[in-house]
Amino acid sequence: ALLDSASALLISSGEFYSIVHTGSGSANIYMMQDGSLVLRLEGFEVEDGPDLHVYLATQDPVPNAQGSPLEGSVDLGELLGLVGDQVYQLPEGLDLQNYPSVVIWCVPFNVPFTGASLQSQ
């Protein structure tokens, strides 16, 4: 999905930090002209793993805890790629204030690979 930055407003962003695995790049949440929200991973890179998903998490920073689910998180779907820019649609009616972190999460093993703390812009 391409993002027309002219019509999108950056509302929060953060840099990825390594948790259990190495990750880098930035997580940026944009509001589109129709009011919908998207998360864009930019300059992104993460180590490979099984069944990686993109989560919005209620914890910040994300605890380096393995083997237990991330309580209260929102699954934005399967990670589209280990490298490069990618866009995820956020569910409607989501209160972003409840989700200060983006996490790349290994679903079968409940392992946080890399996370980003979102700061309002």
Residue with tokens 């890179």: 45
**Distance from CA of residue 5 to its chain's centroid?**
19
Q: pLDDT by residue (tens digit) across 36-76?
A: 999 999 999 999 999 999 999 999 999 898 899 999 999 99
Contact 110, 53 (CB under 8 A): no
> Taking the CA atoms of the chain, what radius of gyration do you get in angstroms?
13
For residue 33, the 8-state DSSP code is T
CA distances to 25, 29, 78, 80, 87 from 68, rounded to whole Å, are 26, 27, 19, 24, 27
Q: pLDDT by residue (tens digit) across 75-113?
A: 999 999 999 999 999 999 999 999 999 999 999 999 999
Q: Is the pLDDT of residue 4 over 80?
A: no
| 6 or 13: which leads in pLDDT | 13
Residue with tokens 């930019």: 42
CA distances to 72, 97, 102, 120 from 78, rounded to whole Å, are 18, 23, 13, 25
